[in-house]
Every structure is written in structure tokens, then in C-alpha cells.
């Protein structure tokens, strides 16, 4: 009977866990739709500012700006790592950190000094636990990023990029984040944010020619404004992609946990039925044995 009570207790415990994971799965499912809508809403602005920036650089040959130029004398490279604030999302954070560590190793092989910048409590915890140094960190908005948060991150990175190594600056900025593709597929991406790589690609007839913008007061002044906004919008878009990926990964992890819990309940239920059946069989055998013993003693 002690084993039977233990199995019943285990079933209640696993069933309680299954309710929690099921609730987490439903919450993540509802938030994925909002995250996808946020990604779609940010796309028009990103497309327009990219078109304006491309037109400015293409129509003003020889234009110069620090964010467009390689800085070989600066050997420090910023690595922005975007993770989540909360867990229960499977290998989402582990995959991002693994890719960031691979990028850091590649940069060191090239003779550069990586400088981590961290977004998300999981990255901060991972680096702090291992006594790894990082330049700055932001957390508290991974599942619902807003533009103000992306603006803070972008401004800090832009300021450090415009500094020299002696001033504590960096010569290039890389971002490691997770791109949402489908509900079942999220891929870790590594992008170099600056210096910008402007490619002169031929545009199709459907795309049309680049618009001939008139910039006031000057193209250089417009570039000074556009480039920081471009960086901030790119970071915001990457954060939105990461948020959608986080919710999808959490939904998948919680669904797997719920299914495993239900399977475990089935196993415990079968074991409980076997134990109960064995106990009933033993009781019947004892009753029959006792009755036979009484019958034999009465016959004598």
C-alpha cells in the first residue's frame, strides 16, 4: 500500500506540473501572434530608411562618414548578444551564446579584441557566472521590446564606435540574434552592423530606379542623422525577431514538457494499476487460503 500511495502522489505532482507547462504553452502561443505583428509593423520603416540611405550614398559618390569607413587601426570589436530574460524556452539561449562564443573565437584568430554587449538576463547571468567581462548590459524587455530600449542600445554602440581604442571605443559592431522563420524554425544569425557594407547592385525594372532625394541642409548632415537611426531601427528589428523566436521556442519547449508529463502520468497509472491488481490478487489468495485452512480444520 505504501507503493500505491507513492505512485498516487507522483501522479498528482506530475499532473500539477502538466497544468503549469500547458498554461505556459498557451501564453507563448498568444504572444507569438503579437510578436509577428510587431515585426511586420516595423518592416515599412526599416525599408524606407534603408532606401533613403542607399539613395544618399549612391547619388553622392565619395561621401564620407565614420560609420561607413573601415577602421583598421581600431582592434576592438563589439559583439551584441541578444538573449531572453526568462527561461523555459529550450535551447534558444544556449544556441545564441554558442554562436556568440564561436564569433568571439574567430575575431580573436584575426587579431581583434572582442567586447561583449549583452541583452537579456540569460546572457548577463551566463557571463557573470563565469567571471567574463562585458562592456554593458540591458534586460527586462526581451519578450516585448520597444523602440526606446533599442534606441538606448543603439546609441551606446554608436558612441563607442565613434571613439578610438584608447578612448574605450570599438572598430566594428557585430550582432548575434535569432531570426524567426516559422513556428518550428528559428535560426541564429550573425550580422556585422557597422561599418556598413554598401553594395552597388543592379535594380530590376520592378524595383525601379533609386529615388533622387533632395537632402536639406546637406547630404552630409542628413547622413549624420540617418545612419544612427538606421542602426537603431536594425537593432529594434533584430530584437523583435528574437522576441518572436523566444515565444516560439518557449511554446515548443512547453508543449514537449506537457506531452512528456502526460506520458509519465500514463506510465505511473499503469504501474499503479499493476500494484493495485497485485494487492487484490494477494488478498484473494489469502482469503481463499484461509477458507481452505478453516475447511480442513473443520473436517478433522
pLDDT tens across 48-70, in order? 777 777 777 666 555 667 777 77
* List of E strands, the chain: 76-82, 113-119, 136-138, 172-180, 186-194
Cα separation of 231 and 154, whole Å?
6
pLDDT of 114: 94
Residue 233, CA atoms < 13 Å, CB-side half-sphere: 17
Q: Is 82 helix (H, G, I), strand (E, B) or coil?
A: strand
Cα separation of 187 and 180, whole Å?
7
The domain locations on the chain are 2-25+256-284, 28-198+211-253
Pick the CATH number of 2-25+256-284 from 1.10.357, 3.30.300, 1.10.287, 1.10.1670: 1.10.287
pLDDT of 37: 87
Pick the CATH number of 28-198+211-253 from 3.40.1380.10, 3.30.470.20, 3.90.1720.10, 3.10.510.20: 3.40.1380.10
For 253-268, the three-class secondary structure string (H helix, E strand, C coil) is HHHHHHHHHHHHHHHH
Average pLDDT over residues 217-238: 82
- How many residues belong to the chain? 300
- Whether the per-residue pLDDT at 178 is higher than 70: the answer is yes
Q: How does the average pLDDT of the chain come out, rounded?
A: 84
Number of other residues whose CB lies within 10 A of the CB of residue 98: 13
Q: Which is higher by pLDDT, 219 or 33?
A: 33
Task: State the pTM of this model.
Answer: 0.81
- Using a pLDDT cut of 70, give the percent of the chain over it: 87
Q: Which is higher by pLDDT, 117 or 35?
A: 117
Amino acid at each position: 500500500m505504501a507503493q500505491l500511495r507513492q505512485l498516487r502522489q507522483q501522479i498528482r505532482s506530475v499532473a500539477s506540473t502538466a497544468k503549469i507547462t500547458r498554461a505556459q504553452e498557451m501564453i507563448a502561443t498568444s504572444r507569438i501572434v503579437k510578436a509577428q505583428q510587431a515585426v511586420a509593423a516595423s518592416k515599412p520603416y526599416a525599408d524606407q530608411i534603408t532606401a533613403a540611405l542607399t539613395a544618399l550614398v549612391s547619388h553622392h559618390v565619395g561621401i564620407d562618414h565614420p560609420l561607413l569607413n573601415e577602421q583598421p587601426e581600431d582592434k576592438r570589436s563589439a559583439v551584441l548578444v541578444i538573449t531572453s530574460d526568462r527561461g523555459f524556452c529550450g535551447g534558444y539561449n544556449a544556441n545564441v551564446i554558442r554562436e556568440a562564443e564561436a564569433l568571439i573565437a574567430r575575431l580573436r584568430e584575426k587579431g581583434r579584441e572582442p567586447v561583449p554587449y549583452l541583452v537579456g538576463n540569460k546572457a548577463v547571468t551566463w557571463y557573470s557566472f563565469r567571471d567574463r567581462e562585458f562592456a554593458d548590459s540591458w534586460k527586462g524587455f526581451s519578450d516585448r521590446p520597444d523602440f526606446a530600449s533599442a534606441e538606448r542600445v543603439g546609441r551606446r554602440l554608436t558612441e563607442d564606435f565613434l571613439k578610438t581604442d584608447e578612448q574605450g571605443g570599438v572598430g566594428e559592431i557585430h550582432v548575434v540574434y535569432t531570426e524567426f522563420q516559422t513556428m518550428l524554425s528559428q535560426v541564429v544569425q550573425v550580422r556585422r552592423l557597422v561599418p556598413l557594407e554598401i553594395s552597388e547592385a543592379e535594380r530590376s525594372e520592378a524595383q525601379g530606379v533609386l529615388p533622387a532625394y533632395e537632402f536639406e541642409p546637406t547630404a552630409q548632415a542628413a547622413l549624420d542623422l540617418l545612419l544612427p537611426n538606421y542602426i537603431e531601427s536594425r537593432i529594434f528589428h533584430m530584437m523583435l525577431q528574437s522576441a518572436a523566436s523566444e515565444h516560439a521556442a518557449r511554446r515548443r519547449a512547453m508543449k514537449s514538457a506537457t506531452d512528456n508529463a502526460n506520458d509519465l502520468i500514463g506510465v505511473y497509472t499503469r504501474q499503479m494499476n499493476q500494484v493495485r491488481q497485485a494487492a487484490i490478487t494477494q488478498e484473494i489468495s489469502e482469503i481463499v487460503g484461509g477458507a481452505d485452512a478453516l475447511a480442513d480444520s473443520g473436517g478433522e
